[in-house]
Structure 1
Amino acid sequence: MKLNKMSLYRKRSMLGFFFIGPWLFGIIFFYMSPLIQSIKFSFSKLQIQSEGYSLLPVGFENFRSALFVEATFNRILTSSVWEMILSVPMILFFSLFSATLLNQKFRGRIVARAIFFLPVILASNAIASAEQSGLISLIGSATYVEEMQGSLSSYNVTSIVYMLLDIGIPLSYADYIVTAILQIYSIITSSGVQILIFLAALQSVPSSMYEVAKMEGATSYESFWKITFPMVSPLILTNIIYTIIDSFSGSPITNLIYSTAFETQNYGLSAAMSWIYTLVVTIFLAIIGVVLAKRIHYN
């Protein structure tokens, strides 16, 4: 009886809590303990002993070492952030463009969608584990991709830049376009999930809106910017956040943090690097969330 007396807003709030329940359970019982332990490590020096380990408090010494003593950390962190800034717009543009094409009605649409999502499967940990165990071999295909990228970078890149400059594109934009062309393989590999999210958003747009726009004489270009883009804008923010986090997950900075902890056995310095990296990512996500949240259309 009490459930029937609940308002619609209250019922939706309860459904929201049920939806994030598994995530909250995992955070509290699986991630909270390692999170607190990493904070302790970042302010301590870990000493291995016969009965285990002990933590010697050192204050902010690990953070000072990461920022001012380790010469490679700042350089790798800066290059990772700069690469993220360049790659995120490329991945989002390619994902939205591909999702728009895959949302059209044509024969073999299911096969085409599977092909676009195939690079995500090939880049997954399952494929990497199968390759390490000897079940499959991707060395030949990886070598072929590297040779293709090398040949593309050395084949007529200068002429492409001159061609873009001839049609009136500024030099900075021309360099950015050429960079996107040279990184096309990594862009395709990193765009599978984003394509699926955009595809789901495009399929949720009512077809009646396009019919009304067509009756009013709107062109396809106008329909895209007046209907499609505003309707999928909430998931643009979702894809930006996902792409930023995904770009850092396999970046050189994470490899440096891993090697510092498990190769040099400097767990305190590794924990400090991890928290600096986490703070940088959090700042980027907060800035992007504040800037884009005001420009998103919620239906």
Structure 2
Amino acid sequence: MKMRLTLTRKRSLLGILFISPWLIGFLFLFLKPLVESIRFSFNKLVIEPTGFTLHNIGWDNFHNALFVDPNFNRILTNSIGSMLINVPLILFFSLFSAVLLNQKFPGRTLARAIFFLPVILASGAISAAETAGLINLVGNATVAQEMGRAASFNGDALVNILVHAGFPISITDYVVEAVGRIYEIIRSSGVQILIFLAALQSVPTSMYEVAKMEGATGYETFWKITFPMVSPLILTNIIYTIIDSFADSPVTKIIYTTAFTSQNFGLSAAMSWLYTIAVSILLIIIGYAISKKVFYQN
């Protein structure tokens, strides 16, 4: 007698099938290094001709990372502060760009490709090719410098406009800093734009047609239909942007340097776990707070 699967079980099996590539990769590629890094963080690793030996030192590596190392705490704090500034800017720019690119106009495909181009230029494959001498991206750096100079030049005028308009100094400084980092924001927004585009294209057009028939303005349509419908992907993009901002931060560089330049693998492992705990706490707090405001269509 055949066993009939309920809809809930079918969805559960599909979910397991969906995550199976990641699960297999984690079990066979990442689980052992993860356990080894925990061991290293509580030991002093001594390299010998035949391999290495571990000498248990308890929590000393964590103590040294937090209270002895002169740079780790400062760099970690600066990275978190920079992330808290960048994430809202990247999300706002991504959603704004996705709404524009979702409109029907000539050359829309080309415009989408141009917006995603900075992500391709910043990818690991391009960086590796540049390091190997296969390509030259000096022009890319020049563009970034020119955009920074232009933003700095326009910053003074923008400050005068905002101050005369009555904006508080804190908001003025935030906006001016956003303008000064426009290239970095554009470079970091490609994936988020694609996710928002997918969310916008999944919104039923009948909702917009009904809103238009009822006489809703574009402003009302955005806040009453578009924004609630894409809010689940806003949470997704926030989590992605936070993780992406930490993937190539000064913290990862100091962890790498501590391990492979200073040969202090135990301290490096302790820094890595402190870094992981800090990111995890941020993700839990931000994810929990924002999930309360997310609209899920049943």
User: What TM-score bracket applies, with the shorter chain setting the length?
Assistant: over 0.9
Report the Cα distance in structure 2 between the residues aligned to 1:148 and 1:287, rounded to whole angstroms: 35
Partner of residue 43, structure 1? 42
Indicate the percent of aligned positions where both proteins have the same amino acid.
Answer: 63
Partner of residue 275, structure 1? 273
Q: How far has the Cα of 1:2 moved from its partner?
A: 3.5
Question: The residue matched to 1:2 in structure 2 has which SS?
Answer: coil
Partner of residue 26, structure 1? 25
Partner of residue 80, structure 1? 79
Report the Cα distance in structure 1 between the residues aligned to 2:244 and 2:68, rounded to whole angstroms: 28
Partner of residue 217, structure 1? 215
Q: How far has the Cα of 1:151 moved from its partner?
A: 4.7
8 Å contact 2:147–2:183 — kept in the other structure? no
Unaligned runs of 5+ in 2: none
Partner of residue 16, structure 2? 17
Partner of residue 93, structure 1? 92
Aligned pairs for 1:50-129 (under 5 A) are 50-129=49-128
1:150 correspondence with 2:155:
no
- Structure 1 residue identity aligned to 2:95: L
How many residues were matched structurally?
A: 297
Q: Deviations over 1:249-299 (max 9, x none)?
A: 111011010001000000000000000000000000000111111110001
Question: The residue matched to 1:55 in structure 2 has which SS?
Answer: strand
1:296 correspondence with 2:294:
yes
8 Å contact 2:155–2:180 — kept in the other structure? no
Report the Cα distance in structure 2 between the residues aligned to 1:217 and 1:147, rounded to whole angstroms: 45
8 Å contact 2:65–2:270 — kept in the other structure? yes
- Structure 1 residue identity aligned to 2:12: S
- Structure 1 residue identity aligned to 2:233: L
Q: How far has the Cα of 1:152 moved from its partner?
A: 2.9
TM-score, normalised by the number of residues in structure 2: 0.97
Moved more, 76-85 or 135-144: 135-144
Distance 1:214 1:70, change over 3 A: same
Question: The residue matched to 2:55 in structure 1 has which SS?
Answer: strand
- Structure 2 residue identity aligned to 1:294: K
Q: How far has the Cα of 1:175 moved from its partner?
A: 0.6
Partner of residue 181, structure 2? 183
TM-score, normalised by the number of residues in structure 1: 0.97
- Structure 1 residue identity aligned to 2:79: S
- Structure 2 residue identity aligned to 1:161: V
